[in-house]
Structure 1
């Protein structure tokens, strides 16, 4: 060790004394990106505030700046709960390492096995969706049509009015009649007879009116006139208690004209509902009032029905959302908002919100893991675990072999393509109970409402055979989406799906719009241009290695030791 130190120092002194090793201007010129020491940016050395001010407006256009600041919001974000879940096992061991290394020998020989604390499990995620926007609601609306009587009144009621002191002679007071004239109820007629003549006209004098007139006109109090009034309606007797026609027994002097009633049907809001394209009648109209005779301004009017009711079933637009549960679920992370309008015109009417939610842990509760003496090697008090990971070359070889096998099995000789998929789609009622698109790893919520094709697609998706292309609106009412469909491309194997998903990115080959998803395979030329080394096949490694799994070496060595001990334990002792 000391000799190596001396040799290193000697080499350093020798190299330092050799001037040929000092960089010159020529060597600096060969340095990539070197442009000398006088650069335009040097003006910022003494004015860093100007650097900040001038950089701010152009920063958002700089690709490197956007990558560092995640301006496009593409970097995954993890909640505190997710981070704590993943690091819980490591933190537990770090707090009490002696518990998990208890019984280990520094020389690296095998010792006892200590169970590790449970890990976070192999969490998977699925896309959960909900909807916000306009909802079509169907309900019953009722309208009423009724008969409306119209009165044509040509009747006139005549009265005599006098000064107050002659009211008791059988007349109405002018003080009562004049306000009614002003109100338009009555009008002043031309006749102004002597009060005695007016009395005779209303029956005074009986069978000998001439004798009564001679006597009446001889009275000084009767030497005045009466004013004739005609009114459109009869005046209540309480207002003119002395005014009586003794010949007819009526309060008024006489009545002229008549009152007639005509009946018309008022349809109310029924024409609007009948003409509404969103409404349809659900029953015949029903009579709700009648038959009946009604008095209308003294005229008896009889009708077999006075009112009818009509019922319509109408579709109306309301605002709705079924995202409350997902918004409140802290384990779910919002990913994106997709408008289902097709085509979209103006503000989005119905949108689909997509969340990433965790699946239940895939690691079974009974699958315990251990750290054993043979898995730790210590020297000078420093211990390191011996990692026994499978060879990455072995996994890559397995993927390559399976890829070639699938390519042969899924080769289409007619179109000369490989890894061709089939288009499938499932349906979901917007704001409805029927949902046949549960997502990978999640059971169907309403299987009894789903078709056989929907259930078969869900099984394929759960097996990892399908790629979701997207969602589109398949049924609209009044321009509002009421049913959506999730479009998928399903393949013959999980490996085929992974090759398609990651291969299309390399080839810049789109899936197409969800409504017209393209699930065609790769051409031979396209498949030859795929770089499998850049693809992530972690999802299928376990399936491939299960078929070629070798016995665990620790377990094998333990069994060998047990057999040796058993052999010597049975050997006869001398």
Structure 2
């Protein structure tokens, strides 16, 4: 039986490769001769009568040659497709359609090992008798994965604080700095701008004021706006005169330094009354000429002063690397306090008070959530701590275990299976074989080709078995888990999971997904908070099996957990895959397991219905 199934597989591969070659027009005479020979052989060898399962007429196997050569060439060109896989795919579909399992029910029954029937027929031809029997296996092992984590159980708390613009009322009692000159000349325009103080003497010249020395030098600059008028010191010939520029090195002028007047606002405010003063530096105490004094005013209208933003209440969070700002909401604008807005000339939307919300992480405990099932072996240990740089310990590890789950297969009628020789047409194929695998393997390969034809270009791109990159999330040490392969699936109904996570769970139930890897999707100072598990899913178990085999045979990359490469095969890549070297057991084990619960007395009908259903709808019928 293995020889027959292997022959079927090799024939499929050969036909696929042969039909995929680029069309070359034959020599017309040679073509006609070959065509005639082929038609004659079809009749003389009675191919129609000896082909297992074939019920058509012999003439249907003959190629037509009555049309003009030009017509044949034109029709052939139209039938061709730019897709070099199309002939092979059409051929495989035609094979499946022309050979329904119902015509070979007994053959299928024997090949699947559901009955000890060494004389079963294959396509209407009886096999020889064999007495070599052995006990049938009770099941197979199916590979799965289990993942879990160890590290810090990080809890996140919400912290709320307020910041505000520190605006205060100014005291009703105000103090300022001035001197006798500023007070005497207060009526002079912009007196506060003349800050360079001088003491000088007035000298007379032949024509009046001597403007080359003494006070005359500065008096000559009054009209130009560079100096203010002089003020006599008591009854002496000395004067005080303030300018915008310092005059030094001139006879009759002594530069006193820079002065300041901060009392102009209080002097101009009619609501303010001068209450006291203290002279801290005298020029001529006898005449009461003070060079620097502190003056106190009592004012009826207190003003406002802006001392800046006060963030004291939030300081513990703003400087904490374990905290991150979530929201900031303004709770008071300048327009809410019109007098402050007017006094400080603030924009209406200027924020005076804000409420800030921080998310702060802390370690509640350290440990592992691993509850590894029996029969699982550690495959990988990966650090998924985004902060890990090799200089400090990794705070979060992800563990991947390879597990074997037993899969039941249906019992045979007698508890044993026997080898047999099968007659195929005029050839006798002798075999000493375990029929548990051969025909299911062949049927699986045929269905893989059928699915390949259905998947080609289905995603909008000209690829075969294209898939989707799907991810699920699980909190580290928390109560959120949407990954069925990781720890305890806390949300069995997936109610809190997103659409992609629900789709992934459905695809995993069909065993249609290949695990790519895990990465941290949400981090904290103390390690990973949330991990993402990434898969490539292909819609069916056959799609996944062929993709895994193709990646292995062709050395293709799956990408990584953050950027999976789940695209399908190109036509040229698919042609390179050896389907006869693909393990389809994960596919046909499911088929057999579904038959296990049926009535053993109707196994032929169950097998026929189930596999025919698989060939048409790709959904096993139980």
Please, what TM-score do these two structures have when normalized by structure 1? Answer: 0.40
Please, what TM-score do these two structures have when normalized by structure 2? Answer: 0.38
| Larger relative contact order, structure 1 or 2 (CA cutoff 8 Å, min sep 6) | 2
